[in-house]
Amino acid sequence: MRGGARQAVILAGGQGTRLRPLTLARAKPVVPILNRPLLAYQLALLRAHGVSDVVLACSYRVDDVRAALGDGQRLGVRLRYVVEDEPLGTGGGARRAADLTAGPLFVLNGDVLTDADLTAMRRLHEARGSRTTIFLQPVDDPRQFGLVETDANGRLRRFREKPTAEEEITTNTINAGIYLIDAPLLARIPPDRPSSIEREFFPALIAEGITSYGWCPRTYWRDLGDPVAYRAGNIDLLEGRANMPLSPPGERRGGSWIGAGGSVADGAQVVAPSVVGAGAVLGRDCRVGPGTVLGDGAQVGDGARVEGAVLWERVAVGAGAVLERCVVGADVKIGARARIGPEVVLESGAVVPDGATRSR
């Protein structure tokens, strides 16, 4: 095996502000995607590409992350944590975590869901003698991202993080949030003050002419920045739009995944593709799916309908309630005959009275 990157740092210290209220109850890196913590997918991807030594750069709600992922053993990786007392930004976070590693390194934003072929990325990095390679993707609206211009050979020409002036929106190719960086370069980032890898580190590399490339494969990619994207990411995986190395927990049955220990009353249907968590109790004549995720311990009342929705753990849906394309936090109680409309987000612990309607 060549000396190619076998270690990674995952930036997992953001507050997940745009994903509120979901991130009030749980750190963004471990919000559930098909009943597994988000980072489990990144760790599985890294592992599938020969990277099993991973450092998490954390600062916000670290206990959630530790509780969900532990030392990584169950996921087949060695996980270490570096905790910033004060957030050091994407630059300082990467730098501090990278101090535990040696050699070239993958650095990942902890909130992207992708099946990118990291082996191909590593190959390109080595073949071109690149010192920093950035995973790029085309998007419809690049404003919320880092805009990256490359030349005809893929060499980086410009990196502009979330430009506001219209004339600076010069490309729809954006930073997809995974980098391969030669270790010595990271020593340029100050370890003890907040800094931005996007606003400081990349532009400086380009200005100094350090060989850096973009890598823009056709692949599945989604930033889980807000609740709409979060729900869509779940649905993408349910519908098999990504080639993930990790499938949902549960037994595959009729195109869905059904967890252990639950019960299904007469006339209840699970319409594929859906995921039903362990211990879920489905009442008579209810319908779950298509495109639905029920967390562990869910209860769906008689005649209720849950479609295109993502429910966290222990949600109780009253009899005759209708939930459509929404996201429901843990331990929420939804009354009988309540209606929850598209893109509604119910915060963990919320209570919706009988017959109430929630819409956006």
Residues that bind ligand GDD (CB under 6 A): 11-14, 57-59, 84, 87-90, 93, 109-112, 145-146, 161, 174-177, 198, 223, 225
Which span (22-30, 111-119, 231-239, 244-252) binds Mg ion, by CB under 5 A? 111-119
Q: Is 28 noted as a catalytic residue in this protein?
A: no
- For the bound state, the minimum distance from the C-beta of residue 88 to ligand GDD, rounded and expressed in Å, comes to 5
- For the bound state, the minimum distance from the C-beta of residue 224 to Mg ion, rounded and expressed in Å, comes to 7
- For the bound state, the minimum distance from the C-beta of residue 238 to ligand GDD, rounded and expressed in Å, comes to 21
Asked if residue 313 binds Mg ion (CB under 5 A), the reply is no
CA distance 230 to 194: 28
Question: Which of 132, 221, 215 is CA-nearest to residue 180?
Answer: 132
Which one of ligand GDD, Mg ion, none interacts with residue 313, CB within 5 to 8 A by kind? none
Q: Which residue out of 128, 143, 162, 358 is catalytically annotated?
A: 162
Asked if residue 111 binds Mg ion (CB under 5 A), the reply is yes
Which one of ligand GDD, Mg ion, none interacts with residue 175, CB within 5 to 8 A by kind? ligand GDD
58 φψ region: left (φ > 0), alpha (ψ -120 to 50), beta (else): beta
Q: List CB contacts of 348: < 8 A, sequence separation 6 or more.
A: 21, 22, 24, 25, 26, 312, 329, 330, 331, 332
- For the bound state, the minimum distance from the C-beta of residue 253 to ligand GDD, rounded and expressed in Å, comes to 34
Judge contact between 213 and 135, C-beta under 8 A.
no
CA distance 44 to 35: 15
Query: Which one, 198 or 313, has the nearer CB to ligand GDD?
Result: 198
Site string for Mg ion, 211-230 (x = CB under 5 A): --------------x-----
CA distance 129 to 90: 25
Which one of Mg ion, ligand GDD, none interacts with residue 233, CB within 5 to 8 A by kind? none
Query: Which one, 225 or 283, has the nearer CB to ligand GDD?
Result: 225
Q: Are strands 333-334 and 351-352 parallel, antiparallel or unpaired?
A: parallel
Q: List CB contacts of 297: < 8 A, sequence separation 6 or more.
A: 277, 278, 279, 280, 313, 314
Secondary structure (3-state) at 349: coil
Asked if residue 198 binds Mg ion (CB under 5 A), the reply is no
Which one of ligand GDD, Mg ion, none interacts with residue 161, CB within 5 to 8 A by kind? ligand GDD
Angle between helix 38-48 and helix 62-69 axes, rounded to 10 deg: 60
Q: List CB contacts of 43: < 8 A, sequence separation 6 or more.
A: 54, 69, 72, 75, 76, 77, 79
Judge contact between 96 and 84, C-beta under 8 A.
yes
Which span (34-42, 105-113, 190-198, 301-309) binds Mg ion, by CB under 5 A? 105-113
* Residues involved in catalysis: 162
Residues at the contact surface with Mg ion, assessed by CB under 5 A? 111, 225
